A = this chain, B = another copy of it.
Amino acid sequence: LKGQTALANGQKPNALLSAPFALGSSEAQAVASIRKHGPLSRTEIADVTGYSRSKITSVINTLTHLGVLEEIGDGESNGGRRPRVLNFCPEFGYLVGVDMGATSLDVALTNFNGQIIYRLSHVIDVRQGPEVVLSLLRDLVLETLTQLGIQASKIYAFGIGVPGPVEFSTGLLIAPPIMPRWEAFPIRTFIQETFPCAIVVVDNDVNVMALGELRAGSGNNHENFIFVKVGTGIGAGIVCNGQIYRGSNGCAGDIGHICADRNGPPCHCGNIGCLEAIAAGPTIAKRAMEAARNDPDTVLAKFMDEQNGKLTAHDVGRAAMEGDRIANEIIRESGRMIGEVLAGLVNFYNPSLVLIGGGVSNIGHQFLASIRRGILHRSLPLSTRHLRIDTSPMGADVGVMGAIALALEHVFVVENGHAKYVKP
């Protein structure tokens, strides 16, 4: 236990963090139990871990000396003296959650309990490449820290969701279609140059969103569910036995190029009839613009006039709300196709929950209704008997909340049974 040794030498707890040090596996168990259940008394930690009272006393002493845990007041009594409850010391360190989109950067700074203390959004163009975008991210975080009087060395983890396929073990993007310049760029190293005490965990944005739902959203009672992001592209995050499932190469959930119609339109990937080419945001917008050109007497045509001849999927949703028949039909068709592909995945995977999120998911209630119909129409009765199909209740926040959950899960990396801080 390097940590304990260092303490014995009289150093201040936080000085320990400039060198890699490991928590003993007992300390790691205690930390994990509070991460999972929230604030606990010593007795409750003993119940969860199965350790003796004397061992718990020693473990908690170590963790409070290190400054990881603190007593936060009295818990509920079972008759006798009310027990002191332990929780993470919020100022022990800070975490950054990043939700990177093709055109937006959403950042949350939280304390060690995962409570947001600062939140910001910035317009970006991810195609400008990793140096430009990550320098901006770095500067935004540094600026925030200066405002709040927090040192960069107090950031202990970054969780980052990116819109492309990630090799999770290395944190590298592999052949990312919409951000080719990011291929194999060392995001971890770049961040750790400025935040040397941070571990950096990078994952595909949809996996991160699924994790957000699992930890803080609709998914937390579901062992097996699918989170579907519908936006410029279509992708899925898979939760299996209560954990993110990444597949053998880390690219599980890439459902945008599943064939939805063998006689469908060509896709930018070179294939025919991909779901993404039929039902994602750009296609919804394109169909609406065609319809508006053909019939100038519609709400869609009015919107297009107001916006210099351009429409987005969001505009189609607005037009549908105002009763535009074609807009409604386009939305229904998109939902139906997504539902039919999801029906196949429901037959295969038998989840208890399908959550629809992403920028296009709030395009109108017809969208969810059509996805539901598509799924129910083509799935087997047994697999839909207890299936819930819904939009993500966390909405736009699911990305940063998932990124914070990712950071929280990895801030104590467990290796060989020991949780440790990993230095760059």
**A residues apposed to B, CB below 8 Å:** 165, 174-175, 222-224, 236, 238, 240-241, 245-255, 257-259, 261-263, 269, 271, 340-341, 343-345, 347-352, 377-378, 380-383, 385-387
Q: How far is the CA of A380 from the CA of B177 in the complex (A)?
A: 11
Contact among B253, B341, B348, B385 for A255, CB-based, below 8 A: B348
Q: Determine whether the beta carbon of A255 is less than 8 Å from that of B382.
A: no
**Smallest Cβ distance from A206 to chain B, in angstroms?**
12
Copy count, this protein chain: 2
Contact among B240, B344, B385, B387 for A241, CB-based, below 8 A: B240
Q: Which partner residue on chain B sits nearest A224 by CB separation?
A: B248
Q: Determine whether the beta carbon of B350 is less than 8 Å from that of A348.
A: no
Q: Which residues of B contact A241 (CB under 8 A)?
A: 240-241, 245
Q: Which residues of B contact A352 (CB under 8 A)?
A: 248-249
**Smallest Cβ distance from A120 to chain B, in angstroms?**
32
Q: Which partner residue on chain B sits nearest A245 by CB separation?
A: B240
Q: Determine whether the beta carbon of A348 is less than 8 Å from that of B348.
A: yes
Q: Determine whether the beta carbon of B247 is less than 8 Å from that of A383.
A: yes
User: A240-B240, A352-B248, A383-B247 in contact; A255/B175 too (CB < 8 A)?
Assistant: no
Q: Which partner residue on chain B sits nearest A255 by CB separation?
A: B348
**Smallest Cβ distance from A119 to chain B, in angstroms?**
33
Q: Determine whether the beta carbon of B383 is less than 8 Å from that of A249.
A: yes
Q: Which partner residue on chain B sits nearest A223 by CB separation?
A: B248
Q: How far is the CA of A263 from the CA of B236 in the complex (A)?
A: 26
Q: Which residues of B contact A385 (CB under 8 A)?
A: 249
Q: Which residues of B contact A383 (CB under 8 A)?
A: 247, 249, 251-252, 254
Q: How far is the CA of A245 from the CA of B352 in the complex (A)?
A: 14
Q: Determine whether the beta carbon of B165 is less than 8 Å from that of A258.
A: no
Contact among B223, B250, B255, B340 for A347, CB-based, below 8 A: B255
**Smallest Cβ distance from A215 to chain B, in angstroms?**
19
Q: Which residues of B contact A377 (CB under 8 A)?
A: 271
**Smallest Cβ distance from A387 to chain B, in angstroms?**
8
In the assembled complex, 30 residue pairs joining A and B whose CB atoms fall closer than 8 Å, in A order, are A175-B382, A222-B248, A224-B247, A236-B348, A238-B348, A240-B240, A247-B351, A248-B386, A248-B387, A249-B350, A249-B383, A249-B386, A251-B380, A251-B383, A252-B348, A252-B350, A252-B383, A253-B348, A254-B350, A255-B347, A255-B348, A257-B378, A257-B380, A259-B343, A259-B344, A262-B263, A344-B345, A345-B345, A348-B348, A349-B349
